[in-house]
């Protein structure tokens, strides 16, 4: 179904390496590392971007991805990603295409659009861009978060909590705080700088995560270094910056938007299943 969808749109299917010498630096994502010092991909993003920089047209891929320690009703350490990149698209165009694909799999539905700022303001009366770290931590604590709470923990927790109470079934959450930009461009929205990133949440479950892609190699390098400083502070292993990706970005990544869809989650939703293990032949606790 997905393949027909992309064929019609002239998006080319590609395959990239699953095992690579460099892993993702994001501190909240833990890669599986092999004895040889290689990493299993947590997403095909880096190599797909290298293809785009080398002149590929819009591309997609269906592939396994691996994240250590992510196990639960909506998580399995090995899962299937459907990821695609559209040259010249912005976030809104890509969100519309995600909705088209989701309609194909779940049946058509209505989509709502909410910024993170608006979501947290309506739910918790919090200004995610301006309120102090202290206030954010305090509100998170009031909502039942235990332990030592930093700013981004507080925001993550409040977003996760708010997603359980969304008023409608299919919601695109947009405009994330800059410290959660990952590989998205930042933009000025009113008086705030926000990350041009979106997530599609269906029945409280995150199904897709997309970016208006960052194309600036220097900024990418700064973010990787910031990730590694954070890793160091939290006692996590430091990861080398992927020089291949950085070199490709310096050559020039064309303006594009990209998105990753959790296919297993989408299938679970399509079948009204409570848990990913119901749609996986071999969930992690049985392999």
Q: What is the DSSP string of 237-279?
A: PP----HHHHHHHHHHPPSEEEEEEEHHHHHHHHTT-SSGGGT
Q: State yes or no: residue 156 binds other proteins (CB under 8 A).
A: yes
Q: State yes or no: residue 275 binds other proteins (CB under 8 A).
A: no
Per CB under 8 A, the segment of 4-12, 56-64, 139-147, 237-245 that binds other proteins is 139-147
Q: State yes or no: residue 147 binds other proteins (CB under 8 A).
A: yes
273 to 56, 241, 253, 264, 279: CA distances (angstroms): 37, 39, 39, 11, 8
Nearest Cα neighbor of 15 from 40, 44, 36, 39 is: 44
Q: With the CA atoms of 129, 135, 136 and 142 taken in that order, what torsion angle do they form, in degrees rounded to the nearest 10?
A: -150
C-alpha–C-alpha distance, residues 98 and 132, integer Å: 35
Among the listed residues 12, 18, 33, 71, the single contact to other proteins using CB under 8 A: 71
Q: State yes or no: residue 219 binds other proteins (CB under 8 A).
A: no
Shortest distance in whole angstroms from residue 245 CB to other proteins: 17
Shortest distance in whole angstroms from residue 55 CB to other proteins: 29
Q: State yes or no: residue 271 binds other proteins (CB under 8 A).
A: no
From the number of C-beta atoms within 10 Å of its C-beta (0-12, 13-18, 19+), residue 183 rates as: buried
Between 4 and 146, whose beta carbon lies closer to other proteins?
146
C-alpha–C-alpha distance, residues 7 and 214, integer Å: 26
Shortest distance in whole angstroms from residue 150 CB to other proteins: 9
Tokens of 287: 């392999």
Number of shown-chain residues binding other proteins (CB under 8 A): 30
With both helix axes pointing from N to C terminus, report the angle between 217-233 and 243-252 in degrees, rounded to the nearest 10: 150
Among the listed residues 110, 146, 233, 285, the single contact to other proteins using CB under 8 A: 146
Q: Is the dihedral of CA 87, 90, 93, 96 positive or negative?
A: positive
Per CB under 8 A, the segment of 6-14, 26-34, 102-110, 216-224 that binds other proteins is 26-34
Q: Within 13 Å, how many C-alpha atoms sit on residue 103's CB side?
A: 11
Q: State yes or no: residue 69 binds other proteins (CB under 8 A).
A: yes
Per CB under 8 A, the segment of 3-11, 150-158, 222-230, 240-248 that binds other proteins is 150-158
- Of residues 157 through 216, those in contact with other proteins by CB under 8 A are 157, 159-161, 180, 182, 197, 199, 206, 209
Among the listed residues 3, 73, 112, 229, the single contact to other proteins using CB under 8 A: 73
Per CB under 8 A, the segment of 6-14, 85-93, 146-154, 212-220 that binds other proteins is 146-154
Buried b / exposed e over 129-168, threshold 16 CB at 10 Å, is bebeeeebbebbeeeebeeebebbbbbbbbbebbbeebee
List 20's β-bridge partners, or say none.
Answer: 39
Per CB under 8 A, the segment of 90-98, 99-107, 130-138, 154-162 that binds other proteins is 154-162
Between 143 and 221, whose beta carbon lies closer to other proteins?
143
Q: What are phi and psi of 212, to 5 degrees?
A: -80, 110
Among the listed residues 16, 22, 23, 26, the single contact to other proteins using CB under 8 A: 26
Q: State yes or no: residue 123 binds other proteins (CB under 8 A).
A: no
Binding interface with other proteins (CB under 8 A): 26, 28-29, 69-75, 143-147, 152-153, 155-157, 159-161, 180, 182, 197, 199, 206, 209, 260
């Amino acid at each position: 179904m997905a393949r027909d969808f992309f064929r019609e749109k002239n998006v080319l299917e590609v395959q990239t390496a699953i095992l690579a010498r460099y892993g993702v630096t994001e501190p909240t994502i833990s890669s599986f590392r092999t004895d040889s010092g290689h990493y299993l991909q947590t997403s095909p993003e880096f190599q797909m971007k290298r293809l785009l920089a080398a002149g590929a047209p819009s591309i997609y891929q269906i592939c396994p991805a691996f994240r250590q320690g992510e196990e639960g009703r909506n998580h399995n350490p090995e899962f299937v990603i459907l990821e695609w990149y559209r040259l010249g698209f912005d976030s809104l165009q890509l969100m519309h295409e995600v909705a088209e694909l989701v309609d194909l799999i779940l049946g058509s539905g209505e989509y709502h659009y909410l910024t993170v700022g608006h979501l947290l303001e309506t739910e918790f009366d919090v200004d995610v861009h301006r309120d102090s770290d202290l206030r954010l931590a305090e509100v998170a604590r009031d909502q039942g978060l235990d332990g030592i709470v930093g700013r981004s923990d507080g925001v993550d927790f409040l977003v996760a909590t708010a997603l359980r109470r969304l008023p409608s079934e299919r919601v695109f959450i947009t405009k994330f705080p800059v410290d959660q930009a990952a590989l998205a461009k930042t933009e000025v929205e009113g008086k705030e700088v926000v990350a041009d990133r979106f997530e599609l949440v269906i029945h409280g479950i995150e199904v897709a995560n997309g970016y208006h892609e960052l194309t600036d190699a220097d900024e990418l390098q700064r973010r990787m270094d910031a990730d590694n400083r954070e890793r160091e502070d939290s006692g996590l292993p430091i990861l080398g910056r992927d020089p291949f990706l950085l070199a490709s970005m310096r050559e020039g990544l064309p303006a594009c938007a990209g998105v990753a869809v959790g296919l297993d989650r989408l299938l679970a939703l399509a079948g009204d299943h409570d848990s990913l293990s119901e749609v996986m032949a071999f969930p992690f606790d049985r392999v």
